[in-house]
Amino acid sequence: MKKIISLLFVLVVIAVLGACGSEDSTSGSEDGIQEHSIILTHDVPDTHIKHQASEKFKEYIESESDGKITVEIYGNNTLFDTANQYQNVASNNTQFIISDMSRMVDVHPAFNIPSLPFLFDSNEASMEFWQGESGQEILESFEKDGVKGLAVWPNGTKHIMNNGTAITSPEDVNGLKLRVQGGQLLNETYAALNANSQSMGIDELYTSIETGVVDGLENTFGALESFNFDEVTDYLTVTGHNRIDYVLQTNTEFWDSLNEPTKELIENGIKEATEYAVQTSDRLNEESFERLVERENVEIIELTEDQIEVFRQTFEPLYDKWAPEIGEKHLEEIYNNRN
């Protein structure tokens, strides 16, 4: 009975907020800022870069619109869970979402790019690609679903946190059950290590590790620390083997309803939030790593360059298989940017 009541409550909230958010309000002249109530949803705690950049977006838009536009942020899966966010922005039940690219691989295989092992060596290298010609072309792939890709926000490199054994070589991953965000490339990454990968929402992961459904996970320092996964694992191996980048997305019907002054103001808010994410994500991950060290819940293994090279060689066949599907020209642009 409680579950039915909770479901009805969520449906009512979606209906009310969706109606408010999708309303095409054109009060004032066509040259003025339109009044809008905007909903932005995401799936992380408020200490995470995704939320903090969202707050910058909200602050800029509400301030610069003199309160004509309000932004309601629903974080940590409080409105929609991770798996349903894309569907709800396509339906205009929320006007903005921030998606992990690994969850967008069914839209375009090039969203596997952050999951290719050791492809980028920094946030700056990743952003250079996504803000370039190929990256912008890939973002246009959402439009067939009534969704517009607006910007990419970096999160950072991922590392492995697990129970069972300390990881210093590919052989140590053999047989482990590890949670991944999703997508065939991530599954094949761990298959190359003879490990078992499993996709699940991050909100159910803590209990799944605690009860032994999985042995651990890969994620950024920020997520590993903010979700307290060190409380239910024994080891953290600093691998930096792949990364997470986010896409800020909106509903095209909502976007097309905006007049030019309103659209320009929101675009400036996006630029403000994107710059903040670029400038801040490394620092937040470093601070999270320092807190993990201070908490002393896990043994931390920092791999040497030689140990990392062994992992790199193990993953090389993935490039031969995935380059044609992801797009040779996209990878060529990334390689050219290195030079």
Instruction: Report yes or no on whether pTM surpasses 0.85.
Output: yes
**Which among 22, 47, 33 has a CA at the least distance from the CA of 283?**
47
Average pLDDT estimate for 241-249: 97
81, 86, 88, 94 alpha-carbon torsion, rounded to 10°: 90
Q: Check for a shared fold between 2-23+35-107+121-154+245-283 and 159-242+287-338.
A: yes
Q: Is the dihedral of CA 75, 80, 85, 91 positive or negative?
A: negative
Contact 223, 291 (CB under 8 A): no
CA separation, residue 115 to residues 120, 136, 319 (Å): 10, 18, 11
Please, which residues have CB within 8 angstroms of residue 177's CB and are 6 or more apart in sequence? Answer: 195, 196, 197, 198, 213, 214, 215, 216
Break the chain into its structural domains and give their ranges.
2-23+35-107+121-154+245-283, 159-242+287-338
**What are the pLDDT digits (tens) for 176-202?**
999 999 889 999 999 999 999 999 888
d(CA 265, CA 61): 7
d(CA 100, CA 97): 10
pLDDT higher than 80, residue 254: yes
Query: For the domain 159-242+287-338, what is the CATH code?
Result: 3.40.190.170
pLDDT higher than 80, residue 97: yes
Counting residues of the chain whose pLDDT is more than 90, the rounded percentage is: 87
Residue 223: Cβ-neighbour burial (10 angstroms; 0-12, 13-18, 19+): buried
pLDDT of residue 30: 54
Helix runs in 42-161, H state only: 49-64, 85-90, 123-130, 133-139
Residue 152's pLDDT band, with cuts at 50, 70 and 90, is: very high
* Apex 11 CA angle, 51 and 86, nearest 5: 45
pLDDT of residue 203: 85
pLDDT, averaged across the chain: 91
Q: Element (H or E) spanning 185, and its range? A: helix 184-191
Residue 2's pLDDT band, with cuts at 50, 70 and 90, is: very low
- In CATH terms, is domain 2-23+35-107+121-154+245-283 a member of 3.40.50.200? no
**What are the pLDDT digits (tens) for 24-52?**
444 444 569 999 999 999 999 999 999 99
d(CA 181, CA 119): 18
